[in-house]
Structures are given as C-alpha cells and as structure tokens.
Structure 1
Amino acid sequence: MVEVGDAVFVVELATSVAEQKEGLAGRTDVPAGTGMLFPFPERAEHQMWMAGMEVPVDVAWIDGDRVVGVVTLVPCTEHDQTTCPRWTAPAPATALLEVPAGALRDVEPGDEIEVRETA
C-alpha cells in the first residue's frame, strides 16, 4: 500500500527485472486506487518507457520517503521499447510508482510518500 497526500493506492510490486520490464504493459485498465510500485536495487536516475501500454498513467519517482518527480505519460502501443520515448527521473530515485492518470494531479516534488506492507 502506498499513501501520498490524500491518496492511498493498493499496489502490485514489480521487484524482478522481468516484472519491471513488463510493468503495466498490455493492461486495458488500471482501476482507481491501484497501481504498481517498482523498488530499485540502487539509488539512481532511472529510466522508464511506455512500450506496450494501453492506458495513460501518472508516474512518481520516489527517493526514500519523498517524491522527486511526477508526470502523466501517454501510451506507446509499440511493443519494442527502443521505438518508444524514455523518461528519466529528474533526480536520483529509489522507486517508481505508476497509478491511473490524474490520480497524482495534486502531488508535487518534495511531498512525503509512505510505502506500507499489507498483511
């Protein structure tokens, strides 16, 4: 579970390289209040892409317990990640959060974010 501002999201974890490469690609819907969290093994300016995505998403780059960047991204229906644009974290990040487009409209860099494990 991830909480940022007034929003709470029940998230899937993408921890392996394969899970992070696949992400939310191919899904025709990302329901409100859900998303995917990508914890990274190291703090860096990570890149992401929208290859194979069918729906727009809001993305927050996270460093520890703070948001370092937020952007709304549109789908790239190409399945080859080399033909789709890439976005780089605006600052070193330890994780990335993908949620339905518009869900992070009130979130700004510097906002606190909390990741909690659920039973």
Structure 2
Amino acid sequence: MLAACSAPTSSAGAAVEQQGQTGLEKVPLTIQTATGAHRFTVEIAVSPEEQATGLMFRTDLGPDAGMIFPYDPPMEVGFWMKNTLIPLDMIFIRADGSIARIAANTRPQSLEPVRSGEPVAAVLEIGGGRSAELGIRAGDQVSWHR
C-alpha cells in the first residue's frame, strides 16, 4: 500500500490539492524517550482520501504538530512525498506502540517510496529533523487515543 501525499482520488480532492486538507480530528500524542515524554497534537488521517492527501501542500508544520495514519489491521506501508512541500520525519509504529523505524528528513516532492519494512499499526509524520532534536529513536513508545 502506498499512502500519504499521493494524488487526491475524489472530487473533494480538487480543493484539497489547491490548499491542503483541514478540519481533521486532532488528538494528543506522547512519545516516551530516554530524554523524557514529548507531547504533540496530531491530526488523524483515517479515510483513504485523507491518507492519500496527508500533509500535501502545507507550507509549515508547528514543532509539536503532526499527522498520524492508523492501520487496522497492521500492514506494511509505503509513503511518498509527492506535492509535500516541507521535509518530514516519518515514524513507523508497531501495534505494541514501539517505534519500528524513523525515516528522517524525507525529501519534499520525492516520488521515491519510503517503506515501513514491517507491518505497522500507524505512521506518524512530524517536522523534518524533529526526531533528532528530541532524541526520538527506534524502540521508543508512542501513545495516542481517539
């Protein structure tokens, strides 16, 4: 499955393509690291259209903001950066909440797939370089609730 930042697939996608999607549900998310707990407020991309659009066309992302893409059941996924204007860290999260891997500073507008490498229950996108700034690493725990 290739998701996030791919082309819109519905008639509503035309408006999204011009300015990025808004109005998604926001929830608190915490990443527990060796340096402490780091809190974010993230948008949830649930529907196929929301996941296909992801953070496309956004020109900025706050330091404690992001977007989460849940998968039930967990699955192997791949993301690309088509029409994504800012670098992102992609954090691949296992069903137990542990971080499987981090793709740091993904290249804006790239069509090269960034793959999870294993089944994941969610993918978290935050600003590029933010994981390194906060000391977020594979194995750290992520918790969030709808």
TM-score normalised per structure 2: 0.72
Q: Does 1:57 align with 2:88?
A: yes
Instruction: Quote the residue 1:75 is aligned against.
Output: 108
In structure 2, what is the Cα distance between the partners aligned to 1:116 and 1:62? 14
In structure 2, what is the Cα distance between the partners aligned to 1:112 and 1:41? 18
Instruction: Output the amino acid matched with 1:68.
Output: A
Runs of 4+ aligned residues of structure 1 deviating over 2 Å after TM superposition are none
Q: Does 1:18 align with 2:45?
A: no
Instruction: Output the amino acid matched with 2:139.
Output: G
Cα-to-partner distance string for 1:39-73 (whole Å, 9 max, x where unaligned)? 01321111111110000011100012110010121
Instruction: Output the amino acid matched with 1:50.
Output: M
Instruction: Quote the residue 2:3 is aligned against.
Output: none
Over the residues paired in the alignment, what is the CA RMSD in angstroms?
1.3
Instruction: Quote the residue 1:80 is aligned against.
Output: none
- Candidates 108, 114, 117, aligned match of 2:143: 114
| Pairing of 1:25-40 with structure 2 (within 5 A) | 25-40=56-71
In structure 1, what is the Cα distance between the partners aligned to 2:118 and 2:136? 16
* Contact 1:38 1:97 (8 Å CA) reproduced: yes
Report the CA distance between 1:90 and its aligned residue: 2.2
Q: Does 1:66 align with 2:98?
A: yes
Cα-to-partner distance string for 1:78-116 (whole Å, 9 max, x where unaligned)? xxxxxx111110221010000111211122211111113
In structure 1, what is the Cα distance between the partners aligned to 2:46 and 2:58? 18
Report the CA distance between 1:28 and its aligned residue: 0.3
In structure 1, what is the Cα distance between the partners aligned to 2:128 and 2:112? 18
Distance 1:108 1:90, change over 3 A: farther
* Contact 1:45 1:88 (8 Å CA) reproduced: yes
The structure number with the bigger radius of gyration is 2
Q: Percent identity?
A: 27
Instruction: Quote the residue 1:2 is aligned against.
Output: 29
Show structure 2 runs of 5+ residues with no match: 1-27
SS of 2:49 mapped into structure 1: helix
More helix by share: 2
